[in-house]
Amino acid sequence: MIVIFNSDILYSGRLFTTVPKHLRSFLERCAELGHEIVLPETALLEFNRIQAEARSANIRELEKAYKVLDKYGIQYTKVDPEKSVPVPDLPSLISRLGVRCTVLEPKESELREAHRRACLHEPPHPPDTKSDEMRDLVIWLLSLRVAEKNNGALLISRDEVHTHYRGDEEAKQSGLIRLKDPESVLDYFQMETPSASLIKQLLEKGWDEVVKSAVPLKLHSQIVSIKNCSFKEENDGTTTAYCTISAQSGECQTITAGIKLNFFQDGINDILFKDIKLDGRDYEQGEIQINIQERPAQAINDVKGRHRELKEVLEDY
For the stretch 252-293, pLDDT in tens is 678 999 999 999 876 889 999 999 998 888 988 778 999 987
Are residues 66 and 102 part of one domain? Answer: yes
280 within domain boundaries: yes
pLDDT at position 234: 87
221 within domain boundaries: yes
Are residues 169 and 297 part of one domain? Answer: no
pLDDT at position 236: 83
| Model pTM score | 0.78
CATH number of residue 32's parent domain? 3.40.50
Element (H, E) at 21: helix 21-33
pLDDT at position 157: 94
Alpha carbons 97 and 158: distance in angstroms, whole number: 24
Are residues 156 and 198 part of one domain? Answer: no
Q: In which domain, by residue range, is 285 found? A: 194-301
Are residues 84 and 179 part of one domain? Answer: yes
214 within domain boundaries: yes
317 within domain boundaries: no
Are residues 205 and 106 part of one domain? Answer: no
User: Which parts of the chain register pLDDT below 70?
Assistant: 130-132, 250-252, 266, 294-317
Domain count, the chain: 2
277 within domain boundaries: yes
pLDDT at position 252: 66
Alpha carbons 193 and 23: distance in angstroms, whole number: 24
Alpha carbons 317 and 309: distance in angstroms, whole number: 14
